[in-house]
Structure 1
Amino acid sequence: MDKYVYSGKHWSELKFYDHMMTDALIKHILGLSRYGMSDAGEVFEVMGQMKSADERDWALAWGGMAERLKRNAARSESRGKKVSASSAYLRAASYYRFALASFSDVNDPVMEEYTRESISCYRKYLGLSGYPGEAIEIPYENTVLSGYFYRSPAAGEKAPLIILTPGRDTLGEDTVWVYDEALKRGIHCIVVEGPGQGAALRLKKIPFRKDWEKVVSPIVDYAAMIPGVDMDRIALMGISFGGYLVPRAAAFEKRIKLCIANPGNISWGKSIGGALEMAQKMPKALRPSMVDGLVRDYAWKHGVENSIDAVIRELKKYDNSDILDKLTCRTLVMDASADINPGEAKKFYDAINCPKEYMLFDDETMGQTHTQMGCYASASERLFDWIEDNL
C-alpha cells in the first residue's frame, strides 16, 4: 500500500476567526473536551450566539452557556444525581473561565462575577466527582495565592511533583492536559495562579512581576509540608507566558530538578514589545484593530498606565538574558512549528548551557500550534514519556 501523502491543509491552518487570539482560544476550548471541560455542540452553539467578535459579546455568550449549565447542575444535584451534576458543574466552570480569557474591561461587573462563579462551580465539581484535587492557599507576601493540589491515586509512598505556571490568557484549570495526565502516571501536581493570573489578578488586583522566583519559592516551601511529596523530584513547568517565567524561577530556586518551558523564550518583552513598537510607528488608522485591545490587556495585567509607551517600557523588563547561565537543572524546551513567535524557543534552547533537550511539535507529530492548543493528546503523550524518563 502506498504511503499516505498529505495533500490538503493541516488542521492548524483552519481558522474559526480572523482574530488570532480568538481563533486560538476556540481550538484550545475544543481540545479540552477530552477532559470533560467542554462539549463540541455547546462550543459551536456559543459561537453561533455571538453577536460579534467584540470581547464583551464573547464574554456574555460564554457566560450565558455557563448559566444554563449551572442551573442544570443544581437541578441534578438537588435530585442526588452526583455524576450528572459534577459533569455540568465542570463545563459551567470552564465556560465562565473562557468568558474571561479574552475580556479585559476591569470595570465591568462580569469580571468579578464570572471569576467567582467559575471558582464556585469548579469546587462543586471537585466535591461531587471525587476527582483528587483540593483547593489550597499559598502564603505570599502579605496575602495568599489560590491554587489546587492534585494527589495522584497511582502514586507510591513518595512521589514526584510537578508545579504548573499557566500563561497570560488561560487560567489554572486550563492546564488539565498536564495535571490529569500526571495523575495517571503517579505524579502529584500543584497549580497556582500567580500575580497577573486568574483570581490573583481579577479579585486581588495583583499584577505580574518579572522576578518569578518570588512566586515559585513559596510554592516549593508549601510542597515540603505535603505528605507523600518527594522533594528530590520536583519539576516546574510553565505554559505560554509561563514558559518564559519559569526558567528564571528555576535559575534561583535550586530545589527544582526539572524545568519545562513551553515554549522557551529569552526575552518575552522583546518579542511582544518589538511588535508593539512596529505598530506604534504606523498611522493609527492603519494599525491592526487588535493592537488597542492588546495594549489595554497588557497594561491591566502588568499594572501600568494604559498607553503603548508604558506597556513597551514595562515589557522591556521581561528579559532573561542575564540569568541564562544560572539555569543549571535539566531543562526541556518545547516548541511548535506554527507558534506565534517562531524561532524564539530554539534561540532560548541554544543559549542555555544546562543539561537540556529540545522537543519540536510539527505537522507530522501534531501539536504544532502555540502550546499545543487543540491537540493535547499527542502533546501529553510525548511530554510525559520524557518526564517519566527524567523525573
Structure 2
Amino acid sequence: MMRNPFLHPNRVFSSGFYRDADPDFEVRTTLGRVASGAADIGEVLSTIAEIDEGDSQAWFDRWMALGERVQTIAEESAARGHLVSAAGSYLRASTYFGVALGSIDRLDSDELLVPTFRRHREAWDRFVDATSAKTERVEIPYEGITMPGYLFKLTGTDAERCLILVNGSDGTLSGLWGCAKAALERGYAVLMFDGPGQQSLLFEKDVPFRFDSEAVITPVVDFLLERPDVGSNRLAIYGVSQAGYWVPRALAFEHRIAAAVADPGVVEVSTSWIEHLPSGLRKLLAEGNERRFDLEMSLGMKLSRETSRMWNFRARPYRQDGYFKTIQEVLKYNLTDVVGRIRTPMFITDPEDEQFWPGQAKQLADMLPGEKMLSTFTAAEGANFHCQPLARTLTEQRMFDWLDDVLTR
C-alpha cells in the first residue's frame, strides 16, 4: 500500500533545517529570537534558502549581507525620526552580524573576526541609543581594567529587583536581549556585560576565561550595591549555556544574590571536550603524557581542517599554549568540590536532547544542598535542545514566575 506523502508533511522541527547539527542549531537559535524582536522569520528563512549545505563562505556572506541590509533600514528610519523602527532594525542587524561572527571558525582565515565583531557591536550600540528603555553604559572595575556593560532601568518607576545576565562561551549581547526584555517587562533592572573571555574582552583586550567565576561576579555585585539607584534592589542572576557552570561556581562563594537561574545546569564543562576524543588520547591525557598527547592531536588536526578550525574556535578564550594544557585548563571547570557551599535558591533548565552537557542539569539539582527547581523542557513542547532555542517565551515564563515567587519571599 502506497504511503500518503502528505500525511505528515511538516517535519522541519524534527528533521531540521540542515543535516549538519551546527548550522541547524544556529537557525533554531536565531528563530527563537523572533519573540523578542531580535530577528524576523522571513529574513532568517529567506537568508538560508539559497545557502547550500556545507558552503561556509556563502553562510557568512549571506548573514553579513542581511545585517547590512537591515542596518540600512535602521539608518533610514533613524534619519526620519522613527526611533521605534530604527531600534528594532538595529537590534535585528546586530543579531545577524552575530550569526556571521559565530561562523568565522569555518572560514579559511579568522582575519574578519574583529571587524565582524565591531559591526555587530556597532549595531547593538545603535539599538541601545534608539531604544525606549532607559539605558546606561557602564564600566565595571575588574583587576586593573574594566568590564564594559549596559544597565537597563525602568522608565518612570523604580525597580525593586535587578537581574544580572551572564553570557555563555561565545554568546552576543543581542542574544541576551530576550531575557533582558522579559525582565524589564516584569519590573526588573537589568545588567549585562562582557566578562573575561567574552566578546570585547576577548577580541579586543585578549582577556581569557577563568574557572573561578566568583572573581568576576563579586566585582559585579560590588558595583551594583555601590550604586544608589539599584543598590537596595534584591539581586538575581541568570546564566546561559556555559554560564550554567559560571553562575553556580560564583554562588559557592558569593552569597549576596537572592536567586539564580542556570540555563542549563552544568557540572563539568570538560565532558563536551573529552567525550569526543578517541580512547587512546583519553588514556594519554589521564597519564599526563603531554608530549605524546600534543603530537597525536597535532597529527589529527592536519587530517581535518574542519576539526582544526573548531578546536581553534573553542580553545581561543582559554588562551593556553598547546592541546594538553588547554584540556587541563578546561578540567578546572568542575563544580564537584564546591557545590555543597551553594545556598542560593536556583532554577535549573533541563532540556530534552541537550547536546553539550546531557544529564548534568539533573546532576546539579541532585547535588545542590539548598532550594532548587529542576524544570524539564521537552520536544513535545517544542522546547528541546540546548537552551530551548525555539521556546524562549516558555523558558522566560517559567523562570520569571519562579524568580518572582522567590524574590517576593
TM-score normalised to structure 1 length: 0.89
- After superposition, give the CA deviation of every residue in 1:331-378 in whole Å (9 maximum; x if it has no partner): 222111121132111111111212222111113444222111121111
Deviation at 1:179, TM superposition (A): 1.2
Q: Is the 8 A contact 1:160 1:230 kept in 2?
A: no
Check 1:11–1:55 CA distance in 2 against 1; reply closer, same or farther (3 A cut).
closer
Pick the aligned partner of 1:126 from 125, 128, 131.
Answer: 128
> When the two structures are aligned, how many residues end up with a matched partner?
384
- Measure, in 1, the Cα distance between the counterparts of 2:274 and 2:65: 35
> Could you tell me which residue of structure 1 aligns to residue 340 of structure 2?
325
> Could you tell me which residue of structure 2 aligns to residue 183 of structure 1?
184
> Could you tell me which residue of structure 2 aligns to residue 75 of structure 1?
76
**After the TM superposition, which residues 189-268 of structure 1 pair with which residues of structure 2 at under 5 Å, given as runs?**
189-229=190-230, 231=232, 233-268=234-269
Q: Is the 8 A contact 2:165 2:237 kept in 1?
A: yes
TM-score normalised to structure 2 length: 0.85
- Measure, in 2, the Cα distance between the counterparts of 1:303 and 1:8: 47
Q: Is the 8 A contact 2:159 2:188 kept in 1?
A: no
Q: Is the 8 A contact 1:264 1:346 kept in 2?
A: yes
- Measure, in 2, the Cα distance between the counterparts of 1:347 and 1:298: 24
Q: CA RMSD in A?
A: 2.8
- Measure, in 1, the Cα distance between the counterparts of 2:83 and 2:159: 32
- Measure, in 1, the Cα distance between the counterparts of 2:121 and 2:81: 22
- Measure, in 1, the Cα distance between the counterparts of 2:108 and 2:40: 29
Give the secondary structure class of the aligned counterpart of 1:371.
coil
Check 1:86–1:332 CA distance in 2 against 1; reply closer, same or farther (3 A cut).
closer
Q: Which runs of 5+ in 1 are unaligned?
A: 1-6
Check 1:144–1:30 CA distance in 2 against 1; reply closer, same or farther (3 A cut).
same
Check 1:177–1:158 CA distance in 2 against 1; reply closer, same or farther (3 A cut).
closer
> Could you tell me which residue of structure 1 aligns to residue 147 of structure 2?
145
- Measure, in 1, the Cα distance between the counterparts of 2:253 and 2:318: 22
Is 1:294 matched with 2:310?
yes
Q: Is the 8 A contact 2:133 2:154 kept in 1?
A: no
- Measure, in 2, the Cα distance between the counterparts of 1:195 and 1:277: 31
After the TM superposition, which parts of structure 1 deviate over 4 Å for at least 4 consecutive aligned residues?
Answer: 7-12, 277-285, 287-290
Give the secondary structure class of the aligned counterpart of 1:261.
strand
Deviation at 1:52, TM superposition (A): 5.4
Check 1:291–1:110 CA distance in 2 against 1; reply closer, same or farther (3 A cut).
closer
2:243 partner letter: G
Q: Is the 8 A contact 2:382 2:390 kept in 1?
A: no
Check 1:54–1:193 CA distance in 2 against 1; reply closer, same or farther (3 A cut).
farther
Question: Which structure has the greater CA radius of gyration?
Answer: 2
> Could you tell me which residue of structure 2 aligns to residue 65 of structure 1?
66
- Measure, in 1, the Cα distance between the counterparts of 2:61 and 2:140: 32
- Measure, in 1, the Cα distance between the counterparts of 2:10 and 2:76: 44
Identity of aligned residues (%): 28
Pick the aligned partner of 1:358 from 365, 374, 399.
Answer: 374
